Amino acid sequence: MTKASKSRSILHHPLSYLTLYIALIAITLAAIRLIPVFAGVFHYLIVGVIVSCVTLWLTRTWLKHEQRNLAAMGLLWRQSIGQHAVIGLLLGCVTMLVIFASLLLSGSLEVQSLPTAVTSFLIHSVPILLVLALMEELIFRGYLMFRLRELFGTRVAVYVTALVFGLYHGWSLQSLLGPAIWGLVFALLALKSRGLAMPIMFHFALNWLQALFNMKVKYTSGLFEFTLPATEPLFKADSIGLMMQGIVLLFTVIAIERFCQQERLHQQQTATTAIG
């Protein structure tokens, strides 16, 4: 094999495409962060749209080189997408409301209203948080996760993308206890639904409800706010929050492992049928 043919072979290796894809996404994100805030909070909306478009373009380009299409990544419009989006939205709302209810019922926190106008909150929160959820799911649960799954298996793909997702939000233990755990949930929803509509809307619902309670002030002021009670609570909010994250992690890991077992059984049955 000549040196030129060896170079072409390396460049066309699936891992080479994946590595270059990750590098280009990282460069895009780094370059975008250097752009000064020029449109107030809507700066994040513009950034989200730009990065989403670049990610989609890179995904289409890579799939074209691999002689595949967006359907292989679960990124094409299907009749079930609307249903998956509604399910994701409802699941996200229920999940976050259960966490909030646990904090309130334990006496760890109280709620007070804020003078933010409802119209202003909706105009800022819905488009910005929806586009950012779309952007992050395209990056971490799109081509990256599905390609890692093909190369190294489902388990590696899910845990690696969740870890990277956590580190993307910050190099701290808090990022691993928060975003990384939710990254596992998003990955599971993407695998179960074979697409991104469900994790995108689940992701959006989590962020939107946090924004509603003034926990996303970077993008908008909320309509309500959690405050500490006047008397010392029996359980601290941090302890309750940590416990809830632990419960989410436990059930998600169990669900992921169950999915991997079912996938392996399906592969064995398919192989047995092919041999027969």
For residue range 174-194, list pLDDT tens digits in order.
767 789 999 999 999 999 998
Tokens encoding 115? 């003078």
Residues 36-62 have pLDDT tens digits of 666 677 888 888 898 899 888 888 887
Q: Is residue 68 part of a domain?
A: no
In a domain, 114, yes or no: yes
- pLDDT (average), residues 227-254: 86
Spatial contact of 256 and 155, defined as CB atoms under 8 Å apart? yes
Indicate the length of the chain as a whole number: 276
Residue 9 — pLDDT band, cuts 50, 70, 90? very low
Identify whether 180 is part of a domain: yes
Number of folded domains that form the chain: 1
For residue 3, is it within any domain?
no
Q: How many CB atoms lie within 10 A of CB 65?
A: 11
Angle at 52 between CA 46 and CA 53, to 5 degrees: 90
Decide which of 163 and 30 is more confident.
163
Q: Which helix (H) or strand (E) holds 224?
A: strand 224-227
pLDDT score recorded for residue 7: 40
73: in domain: no
Kindly state whether residue 167 falls inside one of the protein's structural domains: yes
As a whole number of angstroms, the distance between CA 34 and CA 39 comes to 14
Whether 24 maps to a domain, the answer reads no
Cα(265)–Cα(233) distance, integer angstroms: 49
* Tens-digit pLDDT profile for residues 246-256: 999 999 999 99
Q: How far is CA 196 from CA 24, 142, 251, in A?
A: 21, 7, 21
The structure tokens listed for 175 are 């990022």
Q: Looking at the predicted structure, is the pLDDT value of residue 17 above 80?
A: no
Whether 28 is in a domain gets the answer no
What's the chain's average pLDDT? 84
Q: Is the pLDDT of residue 216 over 70?
A: yes
Kindly state the average pLDDT of the residues 12-30.
71
Residue-wise pLDDT for 149-170, tens only, equals 888 999 999 999 999 899 888 8
Whether residue 5 has pLDDT greater than 50:
no
233 is in which domain, residue-wise? 78-275
